Amino acid sequence: MNLESLAGSVRVDATPIECLAHSRDLWPRSTLELAGGSLPKAPAAVAFPRDESELRFVLDWAVANRVAVVPWGAGSGVCGAAAGRVGAITVDLKRMNRIGRVDEATATVRVGPGVIGQHLEDELERQGWATRHSPSSIWCSTVGGWAASRSAGQFSSRYGKFEDMVAAMRVVAPARTFRTGRWAEGVDLGPWVLGAEGSLGIISELLVRVVRVPETRRLRGYRFPSVEAAWTAMRAVMQAELNPCVLRLYDAVDTRIGGRGKGARSSGGGLLSSLVKSFDSSGTTSLSLPLSMPGLLNSLARWGGDECVLIAGWEGREDVVDVLARHGHALLGREGEDLGAEPGEHWYAHRHSVSYKLAPLFTRGAFADTMEVACLWSRLPALDAAVRAALGEDCFVMAHYSHAYREGCSIYFTFVGKGEIERYDRVWKRALDAAASVGATVAHHHGVGPHKMHAAARELAGVAPLFDALRRELDPAGILNPGRIFPPVEVDEPAAPRIGVDKVSMVATLPAQQPAEERDAWLSAEGMSLRFPTSGPLSRSLQASRPPWESPVLGASAFIGGKRVVFVDTPRSSAGPDPRASLSPEQYECLTVPVVPKGEPTVLVGHLAPDVRPARVLMEGWELRGPAASDLGSICAADAEGASG
């Protein structure tokens, strides 16, 4: 390997300490191996390009020298996507950290891929703007990493996931440099790059959508008698078009361990800190014995009762927030006990307090990990039960429910088990199989990596040939993250989805090629109409314009290479790229799309005030729905009058 020729044009570091630092991300499995004395695989060297021309030089050099390349953001991933490879070059992008001025006309900003998330938010705030993308890793993750893994922030209920915020990208692939989204020329490869974890090309610049810094924020806590009661309330708020920025529910165990008995979280580190402190006080140096009895631990945890705490919040223009929060409070207060503002304010102040206290657990014979899955509301109880049971056979388990959407929700499991690699692998395989068995996505926002790539490949079975063909075109030498992210898997061809309406999740599965009149008449007989009306077949829905935070299609079946492929019905996913928009309309068999009930009171407005979000966009104007529609309509009318005056 001729590193001298590379180092002549790009900063390169081949020292053992630098290579070791870039040998792994924060995948708990690699931490478990490290705790057991096994060093991770280190790259041969680390390159630090400072701009796109230097990045191009690195890839050209790697092709000429037949050296594998691993893109690197900040190493905060938890699925092994940035894991080192022996003999490879890791490309650390943090020197590509330019942040431009916000273009107020388009509400976008140009950002380098190596920008740390908090640095972006700090600079945008100085300009009066924000992305409101707020992952708990914001202090130690990069904007390019967010795009590559299809990250979700804690305010995704209102603003969507990060792929919804990406308006355009420049991507450097071994064969060519290309642009996506608003910058695309010809076929837009953006849906393939987002979620591909650097295996199709390395992002060199992003155009990111931004919003004005919210004028105000309302946050409260509510105690519910059970998780099921809270789920119902969360779904009611989302389907009432009240657009909260956050709905975050802690199960009974997390509520108690987190010190939320009266809604106030303790200053400790939750489950992990509690476990460490409890064994510190007892003088026990190993967690192996108690974690050998996970069934007993989970049973003891359930003795404390079923009460749980929900954090709810709204932000934006003050008069709009006042209306939404008031109606949201009325809905949540039907079954929930109001705990006041303190629980919400405390959560907000500590929302990025990522635990850095995992090491004691791993060194004392345990592992700790998290799993984020998502599904439609109607499947949430089955998903919760299936994954909890799968994890509970070997681990102490708790969960919180966040990233709520109109049609479904994510579950974020936290679990601790005895520190054995075989146990860790067994737990994860069982849990991923359980999630898939009930029709959920196996990854809502952590991405894939080697950790979940087989499960993700099964979820997107049939897409691999398209991905592989594109990869061969963009990376003929196969140097970018070889072997990821679609390994070969064998699955039976699925049956066609069942046509029908899911009134719990407010979605309908319909024939993609059915004439509009026929389809709309059938929906009307079911008491429903399309949330995104179209005058033609539904197969056009994927190409239709939409607000960036909305999902016009939640699931689909299509024919690829003569075989049926079924995309899981889910409001959001990060199980690899989302290639649905890349298929031709003729390939689609069925689509699962959002619907709204007919006969519900509506308000039609010709002008939208800032931060008022319509339920539907119609030819004649914007349609407002739900209990706040009349009040929001008045705000829009007053705003229009003020604008014209």
Rounded Cα–Cα distance for residues 72 and 197 (Å) = 10
- Residue 152 in contact with residue 572, Cβ under 8 Å? yes
Rounded Cα–Cα distance for residues 318 and 336 (Å) = 25
Q: What is the pLDDT of residue 70?
A: 97
pLDDT of 101 above 90: yes
Q: What is the pLDDT of residue 157?
A: 95
User: Do 199 and 262 share a structural domain?
Assistant: no
User: Do 579 and 442 share a structural domain?
Assistant: no
- Cα 136 versus chain centre, distance: 12
Angle at 267 between CA 266 and CA 270, to 5 degrees: 70
Which secondary-structure segment (H or E) carries 556? strand 555-560
User: Do 250 and 188 share a structural domain?
Assistant: no
pLDDT of 279 above 60: no
* Locus of tokens 């966009």: 617
DSSP state at residue 456: H
Domain membership flag for residue 97: no
User: Do 207 and 228 share a structural domain?
Assistant: no
User: Do 515 and 619 share a structural domain?
Assistant: no
* pLDDT level of residue 266 (50, 70, 90 thresholds): very low
Q: What is the pLDDT of residue 264?
A: 42
Would you call 9 helix, strand, or coil by DSSP? coil
- Residue 24 in contact with residue 451, Cβ under 8 Å? no
User: Which of 31, 66, 92 is the C-terminal boundary of a domain?
Assistant: 92
Residue 86, burial from CB neighbour count under 10 angstroms (0-12, 13-18, 19+): exposed
The pLDDT tens digits for 7-57 are 999 999 999 999 999 999 999 999 999 988 898 999 999 999 999 999 999
Domain membership flag for residue 431: yes
Query: pTM, whole model, 2 decimals?
Result: 0.94
Which residue, 354, 313, 49, 348, is CA-closest to 204?
49
- The mean pLDDT of 217-223, rounded to a whole number, is 97
User: Which of 193, 212, 231 is the C-terminal boundary of a domain?
Assistant: 212
Q: What is the pLDDT of residue 357?
A: 63
Domain membership flag for residue 466: no
pLDDT of 263 above 70: no
Cα–Cα distances in angstroms (integers) from residue 355 to residues 141, 270, 370, 540, 643, in the given order? 15, 9, 12, 45, 48
Q: What is the pLDDT of residue 298?
A: 75
- The mean pLDDT of 216-241, rounded to a whole number, is 97
* Locus of tokens 């029709």: 439
Domain membership flag for residue 464: no
**Owning domain of residue 167:** 108-212
Rounded Cα–Cα distance for residues 559 and 564 (Å) = 4
User: Do 79 and 174 share a structural domain?
Assistant: no
The pLDDT tens digits for 51-75 are 999 999 999 999 999 999 999 999 9
Rounded Cα–Cα distance for residues 553 and 535 (Å) = 16
Q: What is the pLDDT of residue 485?
A: 87
- Residue 270 in contact with residue 355, Cβ under 8 Å? yes
* pLDDT level of residue 300 (50, 70, 90 thresholds): confident
User: Do 515 and 384 share a structural domain?
Assistant: no
- The mean pLDDT of 606-626, rounded to a whole number, is 93
Domain membership flag for residue 482: no
* pLDDT level of residue 265 (50, 70, 90 thresholds): very low
- The mean pLDDT of 455-462, rounded to a whole number, is 93
Q: What is the pLDDT of residue 219?
A: 97
- Residue 28 in contact with residue 76, Cβ under 8 Å? no
- The mean pLDDT of 78-85, rounded to a whole number, is 92
Q: What is the pLDDT of residue 230?
A: 98
User: Do 633 and 555 share a structural domain?
Assistant: no
Q: Which residues pair with 338 in a beta bridge?
A: 222
Q: What is the pLDDT of residue 540?
A: 81
User: Do 424 and 311 share a structural domain?
Assistant: yes
Percent of the chain with pLDDT over 70: 93
One-letter amino acid for residue 581 of the chain: A
Cα–Cα distances in angstroms (integers) from residue 384 to residues 157, 300, 368, 374, 431, in the given order? 20, 19, 19, 10, 11
- The mean pLDDT of 190-200, rounded to a whole number, is 96
* pLDDT level of residue 645 (50, 70, 90 thresholds): low
* pLDDT level of residue 261 (50, 70, 90 thresholds): low
* pLDDT level of residue 358 (50, 70, 90 thresholds): low
Q: What is the pLDDT of residue 260?
A: 61
Which residue, 151, 211, 131, is CA-closest to 572?
151
User: Do 430 and 552 share a structural domain?
Assistant: no
- Cα 408 versus chain centre, distance: 13
In this structure, what CATH number is given to the domain that contains residue 505? 3.30.465.10
Rounded Cα–Cα distance for residues 396 and 297 (Å) = 6
Q: What is the mean pLDDT of the chain?
A: 91
User: Do 321 and 254 share a structural domain?
Assistant: yes
Q: What is the CA radius of gyration of the chain?
A: 24
- Residue 380 in contact with residue 411, Cβ under 8 Å? yes
In this structure, what CATH number is given to the domain that contains residue 59? 3.30.43.10
Domain membership flag for residue 471: no
- E strand residue ranges, 328-450: 337-340, 366-376, 395-402, 408-418
* pLDDT level of residue 642 (50, 70, 90 thresholds): confident
Domain membership flag for residue 44: yes
One-letter amino acid for residue 153 of the chain: G
**Structure tokens, 320:** 């709009």
Domain membership flag for residue 295: yes
In this structure, what CATH number is given to the domain that contains residue 387? 3.40.462.40
Rounded to the nearest 5°, which phi and psi values hold at 624? Answer: -100, 140
Higher pLDDT, residue 408 or 362:
408
Provide the domain count of the chain: 5
User: Do 606 and 582 share a structural domain?
Assistant: no
